[in-house]
Amino acid sequence: MPGFELFGDLEKKEVTDVLENGVLMRYGFDGMRNGHWKAKELEKALENTFQVNHAQLVSSGTAAISVALAAAGVGAGDEVILPTFTFVASFEAIMMLGAIPVLVDIDDTLTLCPKAVENAITSKTKAVMVVQMCGSMGDLDQLQNLCRKNSIILLEDACQAIGATYKGKVLGSIGDLGCFSFDFVKTITCGEGGAVITNNKDFYIKSDHYSDHGHDHIGNDRGAESHPFLGYNFRISELHAAVGLAQIKRLPDFINIQKKNYSILRNALSVIPEVVFRTVPEGGEENYSFLNFYLPSLEIATKVSEGFKENGVDGCFHYFNNNWHYIRKWEHLKNLKSLFPISEEVKQGLAYLQTKEFTQSDNYIARNLSCLIKLSWTEEEVHNRADKMVNIIKSIV
């Protein structure tokens, strides 16, 4: 990760096809295309790769979450449960629909703690969003059972975990809906883009229409299409889809490279007793885009993080003080700093953030380091990196 590290002739060919026919929009202009429909091709490739019935491309992973939730009927005043460790886009996408993000603790998987989810369910809970952070997953069996028991939608945000699997199924294909991001730093990239996948035809049709101003996409005259309901513009362009079409063909190779580099680093660090690796649920396999491990304390994790930076071991993140990915620094959410007025319902729904403590999450995030696995490393570079990491950690613990 990320896929842009290995851009090559295949990406160039797909983009050149679009530029030569001149149609950059994914819909319409049938006569000008010379048979090129990159977005449609990529959607079909996603369906085949992830063994799902339907895939809908959109403009970003953030858009994918909003579109998926809207397709499932989530809106004003509804509660969506999500983890404290995620990306700010997660709660942004929920609030854009007028719904209320209910943040709960993570466990040692670095994803949703099922017990915390169970305790947070109310009569207003409409969906649970498990965010598969840093290439791995939560206990999807428990989460799925909870959702079924309470008639709640299970949404998988697999934006950082494309290619990971759980009991033989690809992440994103297990819940009622799954979301991917193809932004510039993902394992496969479109530059900007995202997708919703599902086996539910009704959710797919609603995602298809909603992401394009409510167009029903029936017939071949865009101007004559009906609008069964309100929609918005979350379309992907043909240029972005072309890049993704090339990249998804290379996904197995990318995963294999990541696994090789990940394994070298993990094997090296495994000799240190104080290093404890992130828990991956039984039956799960990461996509190997990050190596996550715990150290004994916040103090030690901080010193190791600083040691990595000072010695040129880049791409290792200590999220405890991170502005993007952990709740401690989300003052703009806690204080509702918005350009437009927030509804009273959402204000009241988020009041818990003023007093709520997440000690369980703090315990894990404080001690965790998350190290990016690059595709472009040579084997020698990986071994040198491993030696540096081991020496730095040993000098501190």
Q: Which residues contact 250 (CB under 8 A, 6 or more apart)?
A: 3, 6, 10, 188
Same domain, 16 and 120: yes
* Amino acid in position 395: S
pTM above 0.95, yes or no: yes
Same domain, 173 and 92: yes
Average pLDDT, the chain: 97
What's the average model confidence in pLDDT over 116-136?
98
At residue 327, the pLDDT reads 97
Note whether 81 and 90 are within 8 A (CB): no
Read off the pLDDT of residues 292-305 as tens digits, 9 standing for 90 and up.
999 999 999 999 99
What's the average model confidence in pLDDT over 369-392?
98
Q: How far is CA 262 from CA 90, 137, 143, 307, in A?
A: 27, 17, 28, 20
Q: What are phi and psi of 186, to 5 degrees?
A: -95, 165
Q: How far is CA 328 from CA 250, 339, 359, in A?
A: 37, 22, 11
Same domain, 265 and 241: no
Q: How far is CA 112 from CA 84, 236, 244, 250, 384, in A?
A: 8, 30, 29, 30, 34
What's the average model confidence in pLDDT over 188-193?
97
Same domain, 120 and 268: no
Percent of the chain with pLDDT over 70: 100
At residue 1, the pLDDT reads 79
What's the average model confidence in pLDDT over 349-355?
97
Same domain, 307 and 368: yes
> Last residue of a domain, which of 216, 235, 250?
250
What's the average model confidence in pLDDT over 336-343?
96
Return the beta strands (E) in the chain as ranges.
54-58, 79-83, 100-104, 125-131, 153-157, 165-166, 169-170, 177-181, 194-198, 276-277, 284-285, 290-294, 316-317, 368-372
At residue 136, the pLDDT reads 98
Domain of 367 in residue numbering reads as 252-396
Same domain, 71 and 193: yes
User: For 308, what's the count of Cα atoms within 13 Å in the CB-facing half-sphere?
Assistant: 21
Same domain, 201 and 257: no
Same domain, 257 and 200: no
As a whole number of angstroms, the distance between CA 260 and CA 376 comes to 12
User: Does residue 179 sit in helix, strand or coil?
Assistant: strand
As a whole number of angstroms, the distance between CA 376 and CA 382 comes to 10
Give 368's pLDDT tier (boundaries 50, 70, 90): very high
pLDDT at position 15 over 90: yes
Q: 55: which DSSP letter? A: E
What's the average model confidence in pLDDT over 3-13?
96
> Last residue of a domain, which of 199, 216, 250?
250
Same domain, 235 and 328: no
Among candidate residues 348, 289, 292, 285, the one with its CA nearest the CA of residue 318: 292
- Positive/negative CA dihedral, 274, 280, 286, 292: negative
Among candidate residues 216, 239, 257, the one with its CA nearest the CA of residue 24: 239
CATH of residue 321's domain is 3.90.1150.10
Same domain, 186 and 281: no
> Last residue of a domain, which of 208, 228, 250?
250
Same domain, 173 and 244: yes
User: How many structural domains does the chain have?
Assistant: 2
Catalytic residue among 186, 259, 329, 356: 186
Same domain, 119 and 186: yes
CATH of residue 127's domain is 3.40.640.10
Active site residue 186: yes
